[in-house]
Every structure is written in C-alpha cells, then in structure tokens.
Structure 1
Amino acid sequence: MDSWLTTVALPIALGIVMLGLGLGLTIGDFRRVATYPKLVLIALGCQIVLLPALCFGLVIAFGLRPELALGMMLLAASPGGTTANLYSHLFGGHVALNVTLTAVNSVLAVLTLPVVVNLSSSYFLSDGASIGLQLDKVVQVFAIVLIPVAIGMFLRSRLPALADRLARPVKILSVVVLVAVVVGAIVNERDNIAEYFVAVGLIVLVFNVLSLAVGYGLPRLAGVGRRESIAAGMEIGIHNSTLAITIAVSPALLNSTTIAIPAAVYGIVMFFTAAAFGYLVSRRRNTTEAQPDLDPTR
C-alpha cells in the first residue's frame, strides 16, 4: 500500500501540477480571498465538524468492521489534498482560494486529525490505538502546495510572457499527469482492487459524493459565487488519501494495511467522481453564466 506511487511519484507529480497552477496566480488573487470570509468559515466548518460527523453516521449505517470504520474516519479527518487544486483549476474554480484552504486545513489538521482518529479508535477498537500530532506530514503537504505555487507566481510576476506561453501546455500536462496517476494506482493495486472495492467501495462512493455535494451546495445556499463554491466543493470533496494511507500503514502510527483500505479505494474513486462533479457544475455554469452571482460577502 505504501508504495513508490504514494511516497515518490504522486508528490512529485502534484508538485509539478502546483507549479503550473502558480503560473496563473498573482498576489491580488490571494488578497481577494479575504472578501470571502463566509465561505472560508463554511469550508472549515464542513471539513472539521460536518464531514467527520457525516462519515461516522455512514460507518454506523453500513456496519463496517472496526478497522475499516477507523479507516473511514481517518479519511474524513484528512485535509483537502493538492489534487483538489488541480480539479478546481480544470473546472473553473477559484484556485487561489483552493490553495489558501488547503494550506489552512493542513495546519489545522495537526490538531483536528489526531483528535478525530483517537476518539474513533477508542470507540471502534478494543486496544484504542492512537496517533500523535504529525507535524512533519502536514509540513510536507504544506510544502507541496505552497513552494511550487510560489515559484509559478514568481515567474508570472517576473516573466509574464513566459508564464502566458507555458499556461496552456502545463494545463494539458496536468491532465496527462492526472491520468498517469490513476492508471498507476490501478496497476499498482491490481491484485487487491476487487477485494478492496467489495469491502468499502459503496460507502467510499457515497461519502465522496456527499462530500462534493455538501462542499458545493452549502456555499451556494449561503449566496457564495459559483467559482468560489466550485473551489470549496473540490477542497471539501477531495481528501488527502495519501496522507491517510501514510498514517495508516506507518509502523510508528497505526501500522495497519486494513485501516488504509478505505483511503486506497477513495484514492481511485475520487478521480472519477470529482471529474463528473466538475463536468456537471461547469456545464451548469456555462448555461447560467449570463445570470450574475450573488455578492459572496452578504
């Protein structure tokens, strides 16, 4: 489970993708994030409180065995991954908002993830396995998100003509990288995929779809603009399965491949559900773009 794909290839690939995203961002994009305080509060509330509660209800309803139940809670407590930024970019979301939310969620996860996992472990497991504050893992995610973006933004500010020329090729490369990661994940786990999907495939799918719907729907109900709601939907709906797998299989932490199964299945399913979600909301945006969005600060 903890293979070269999750430990080496995926972080490098996502770093390249984030570099491409940075080519289209400016400091002004991040300043404008401050105009969406309501959205930031909604997104963080969903990530920290609503999704773990929703996942707990699903786990109880599906009657998962203890290790798989803990794996689902670990997944729900994991912050949004860098893949969310890519999907937001591809389907017209507010990428600067995604980057900001990912960074904030990654920092907050230092506190929230251990709390959710430790409480869940005490509830589901007789031995009550626990984890500590995994600052190094959060810092790793933080670096994958921010450093490549900062380099891309530097090129945008200093060499705007070059950034413009690179924007389209890098976006195409991002799609190629995404497809390569999906294929690599399937090939890498080809002997176990059927067993994994039988065990948790349905609950993972339901949780993923609900996460995307909540992440997009609640901001829209609150009057937030469509681009910003797409960003929130991707951020809340696409969890960092790599982080969850690493915590689950690490000998110093939970040391269980069984606990990692939900995150492994999710890491495959989310690519397809997020693409379908992105297509639906971007298509809806195209059909209603003549109608102005409500003021997100109201």
Structure 2
Amino acid sequence: MKNRIIDVQNVKITISKEELDDYICITDIAKVKSNSSRAADVVRNWLRNRGTLEYLSVWEQIYNPAFKVFESEHFKKQAGLLTFTPSVSEWIQKTNAVGLYVKRGKYGGTYAHKDVAFEFASAISPVFKLYLIKEFQRLKEEENNARQIEWNAKRFLSKSNYLIQTDAVKNYILPQRDFKKDSKWIAYAEEADIVNVALFGFTAKAWREKNPELAKKNNVRDFATINELTVISNLETHNAQMIREGKKKEERFEVLKEIAEYQLNILNTAEQIKMIEICDNDLTSSEALCLRDSFPI
C-alpha cells in the first residue's frame, strides 16, 4: 500500500511512499503539540523560523537541482517579522521545493521528506523525535523482511515445482525417446518452454538472446511477478499430471495456455491480492519486463 500508518506514543502518523522517497505527515506530528484543528498553525509557525528556512534551503540545494535559491532568500529575509506568515503551498510554489508537499482529502495534510520530518519533530519534541525514528526504522525493517520473504517465495515456487515437472519428464518421456537423437537436457528445456510460452508468450532461449547480459546471472523467471510465478507453479503441476496421463505436447500446451490466461487474470484483478503485492520498482527488473514485451514467440 502507498500509505502506511505508524503509532508513535499513541499518535497515528501517516507515511506516504513517493517517487523521491518516504514522506511523513508533519501535520500528524504537530498534533503532539496542539489539537487536530490547530495542527496546521503549528506547521505554519515552524515555517516562519529562520533556522527552518535555512535547513530547508540547504536540503533543497543538495537534492533538488530545480530549487530556486534566489526566491528562498526572500523568505529568509522576512523571517521573524510579525507580518511574515508563509504557507507551505507558497513556499513550494515560489521556490519549486520538493521537500514538502500538501495533500488534500483522505490522509490530507502537509507531508515532508523523512529528513525534513525528523527535523520538524525535533522542533516539536526531541523525545518524540526519537520514538518517531524508532518506529520508522521498525517499519522499514518489516518492509525489507517482506521483500525478502517474497523473493524467497519466488525462488521456492520456481525451483520446487520445476523439480516436479522434470521428474515427470524423466520417468514418463525420456524412456520412450531415442537417446541417440535426443538427450535429457533437450527434453527438460522443451517442457520448461511449454510453460514459458503458455504464460509469457516466448521461450527461455528467446529471452536469453534478447538479454545476453542479464542471462549471465539470471533467467526469465527471476524477473516474473509473484502472480506470474504463482501461475507457473500451477502450470508445472498441471503439466506433470498431463505427462503422466500420456497427453501429447500440443494438447498440453493448449490446456496450459488457457489455464495461464484465466489464473493470471484472476490474480491481477483481485483487489485483495493487489493490496498485499509489493511492487518491484528497481530499474533492472523494469527494463527486463519492458524487453520481454518485444520477445518473439
């Protein structure tokens, strides 16, 4: 999910995953110092402080090439004046800042990059800041563990079910073949490709030819989604059973293709499954998936 909630000393803090990084709702943090109706005023008063503006300006110059330094100087010159009551939206609009943003509607409020949010928490309560950092780190550890579990699940599904299929090939197909004209590895590769083509629409060889560098350390299934690997698991089990039943490859392929289309559609459209999926945003995987779309069958 894009938004996560952590509980810091009985205060619910919303965290939003944005393109740049994690952003924390500082309007929620402000509730430590004031009630919900006045939380926005706490944020506004914090922005009036020259020290705050100095910190924000330096942060933006480090991480935001489009930041308008000259415009930020106008804010700093007015810091401390009674008539100076800047809004977050005004700061963003005039300086092109990215460290803060304002969100409307559900989970609305002012959000700050985690570096900025921790600085805001220091101004509110140094003790609360420590608890905030602790809970934030706990959240990130849970997310990292979840990603590791997903990766392990992918590899387990891929490897364990491939063993089921190759065992069926060895026991029910290889004995009927002419070993002078064929070999075990060819038979295994052909059976794997029945599943690959049924699901992906291309063979492992086609993928390797398109991705020679990736193929040195990876195979096509390393870049499949958890939904695709779940379907692969089912396809390999079905394929092994059909092999035992003596069905020809052509017949098995048609059956597997229908199963793949149906099951993948169910998984991709089920809202509950979508909510527990963890998206792979790493560039390498994205590039591989884009390349996959152009593979020949």
TM-score of Structure 1 vs Structure 2, range by shorter chain: under 0.3
Q: Higher relative contact order at CA 8 Å, sep ≥6: structure 1 or structure 2?
A: 1
Structure (1/2) with the larger strand percentage: 2
TM-score normalised by the chain length of structure 2: 0.25
TM-score normalised by the chain length of structure 1: 0.25
Structure of greater Rg: 2
